[in-house]
Amino acid sequence: MDKMKNLCILLIGMFLLSGCGIPAMHQAIASKNNQELEKLIKSGDDIEAPYSDYLHWTPLM
């Protein structure tokens, strides 16, 4: 049972660290990618969009 639990924790950690599911605006700001950030803003992405339905962090928080 512990092996299964450890495997699940490992897979969840890998998923979170891989950038999957992280909004593009949040990724661009976190990685200090100014060119991507400028492109997203010009394309109309919402700078006040929350991270998710459960985490209401905006990209600038």
Q: Which DSSP symbol is given to 1?
A: -
Residue 9 covered by a domain: no
Residue 48 covered by a domain: yes
pLDDT by residue (tens digit) across 24-36? 888 888 889 999 9
**Predicted pLDDT at 38:** 95
Residue 52 covered by a domain: yes
Q: Is the pTM of this model over 0.85?
A: no
**Predicted pLDDT at 43:** 95
Residue 19 covered by a domain: no
Whole domain around residue 34: which residue ranges? 24-61
pLDDT by residue (tens digit) across 36-57? 999 999 999 988 888 877 778 8
Q: Give me the number of domains the chain comprises.
A: 1
Residue 45 covered by a domain: yes
**Predicted pLDDT at 26:** 87
Q: How many CA atoms lie within 13 A of 41 on its CB side?
A: 12
